């Protein structure tokens, strides 16, 4: 009976993984229309470039970007002189990253791998990084453990998306109504299905604490965290007022060692 249950659990996870892949394949069509997704605003790009310089080892090393998507941070890291392996579950998202790499003349410093975040490519990397990816993974601790097998440096760029504070909820409500009045498009082609969100332990985090606990559970050491205030500031400025202020959220970088 236990064996049957184990196979069922694996099947359930595979189904969730397929649905997540399909969501991001479909989202790839409009994903880069949001400036913060593509990091297309010059000021925000400069802020992210500085964040990478501070969090990653010296340029010239190797970086694994997990959940690279359309390549926003992968491209910036390659431009800084890193050799970057961009890993993503969605072939459609990664295809767009590859095209942008060619356009920006950094294709010779980038490698593209379609695959699961829990199965990183073999080898050793000077750092493994991600941006807003762990919340989409059904087994985030397992993913974090697998990343320890290929690197001794962890760099997570994350945000507080699930605050339950009354003032934050009120701001989100007002922003949603304002976007409808202004007819501005949403950040994604559709919301995440509720039944899929229920399978994601790190979705809608009210603070960085559960993420820090997951990093510790996976065996990473020396966890430190820093607020990305310049990124927040830049993201706020490129949105029309008052949307930038209403939608501003705490963002941070978490760094740990193996």
Per-residue model confidence as pLDDT tens digits over 188-215? 888 899 999 999 999 988 999 999 999 9
pLDDT at 65 over 80: yes
CATH code for position 28? 3.40.50.150
3 state SS of 28 = coil
Confidence band, pLDDT 50/70/90 cuts, at residue 233: very high
In the 8-state DSSP scheme, what is residue 105?
Answer: T
What is the rounded CA–CA span in Å between residue 100 and residue 199? 32
Q: What is the pLDDT of residue 163?
A: 64
Q: How many domains does the chain have?
A: 1
| Nearest C-alpha neighbor of 61 from the set 14, 121, 111, 126 | 126
Rounded mean pLDDT of the chain? 90
Determine the pLDDT at residue 22.
Answer: 96
- Tokens 């593509």, residue located: 38
Distance set, CA 33 to CA 64, 132, 189, 213 (Å)? 25, 17, 11, 34
- Band of residue 1 on the pLDDT scale cut at 50, 70, 90: very low
Q: Name the more confident of 170 and 216.
A: 216
The number of helix segments (H) and strand segments (E) in the chain equals: 11, 7
* Model pLDDT, residue 169: 72
Strands 127-131, 62-66: parallel, antiparallel or unpaired by DSSP? Answer: parallel
Q: What is the pTM of this model?
A: 0.89
Question: Using an 8 Å Cβ cutoff, are 10 and 49 in contact?
Answer: no
Q: Which domain holds residue 106?
A: 2-257
For residue range 246-256, list pLDDT tens digits in order. 778 899 999 99
């Amino acid at each position: 009976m236990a064996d049957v249950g184990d196979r069922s659990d694996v099947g359930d996870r595979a189904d969730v993984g397929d649905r997540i892949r399909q969501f991001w394949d479909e989202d790839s069509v409009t994903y880069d229309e949001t400036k913060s997704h593509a990091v297309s605003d010059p000021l925000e790009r400069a802020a992210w470039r500085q964040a990478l310089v501070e969090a990653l080892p010296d340029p010239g090393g190797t970086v694994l970007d997990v959940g690279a998507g359309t390549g926003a941070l992968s491209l910036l890291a390659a431009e800084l002189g890193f050799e970057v392996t961009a890993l993503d579950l969605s072939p459609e998202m990664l295809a767009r990253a590859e095209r942008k790499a060619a356009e920006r003349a950094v294709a010779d410093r980038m490698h593209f791998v379609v695959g699961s975040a829990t199965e990183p490519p073999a080898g050793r990397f000077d750092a493994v990084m991600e941006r807003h990816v762990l919340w989409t993974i059904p087994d985030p601790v397992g993913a974090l453990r697998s990343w320890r097998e290929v690197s001794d440096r962890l760099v997570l760029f994350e945000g507080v998306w699930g605050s339950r504070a009354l003032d934050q909820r009120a701001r989100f409500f007002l922003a949603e109504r304002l976007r409808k009045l202004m007819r501005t498009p949403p950040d994604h082609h559709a919301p995440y299905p509720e039944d899929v969100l229920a399978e994601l332990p790190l979705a809608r985090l009210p603070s960085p604490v559960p993420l820090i606990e997951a990093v510790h559970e996976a065996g990473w050491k020396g966890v430190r965290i820093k607020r990305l205030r310049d990124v927040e500031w830049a993201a706020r400025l490129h949105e029309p007022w008052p949307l930038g202020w209403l939608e501003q959220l705490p963002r941070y970088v978490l760094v740990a060692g193996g």
